Amino acid sequence: KKANYIKHALREYNIHKALDHPRVVKLYDVFEIDANSFCTVLEYCDGHDLDFYLKQHKTIPEREARSIVMQVVSALKYLNEIKPPVIHYDLKPGNILLTEGNVCGEIKIT
């Protein structure tokens, strides 16, 4: 079971490492912490995720929501157009980072 997990994690690492899009968080490195765990080094985003924002504010103005959706679509379009295409599998508000901490700026998906 552990060998399967390691194989899956390495596959995800190799896919993520090759991604290069302004709306996708960049993966810089991965290293082993001990025999049972590892750590990834990702691009720093100075802000919260959309889930945190929604819990604090409850709603988003339509203009900002539209901007977020269009940026997410841009990232998903990129993932679909690369060869082979990549399926995110876990797109949710907690994986949409607000790079400036508010809904008026740029987002990145993790």
Average pLDDT over residues 62-81: 96
29 is known as an active-site residue: no
> Hey, where are the domains in the chain?
1-109
The pLDDT assigned to 107 comes to 94
Q: How confident is the model over 13-32, as pLDDT tens digits?
A: 889 999 999 999 999 998 88
DSSP-H helix ranges across the chain = 2-18, 50-57, 62-81
Catalytic residue of the set 20, 34, 46, 90 = 90
Q: What is the pTM of this model?
A: 0.86
30 touches 14 (CB < 8 A): no
pLDDT at 1 > cutoff 90: no
On whether the 1-109 domain is CATH 1.10.510.10, my answer is: yes
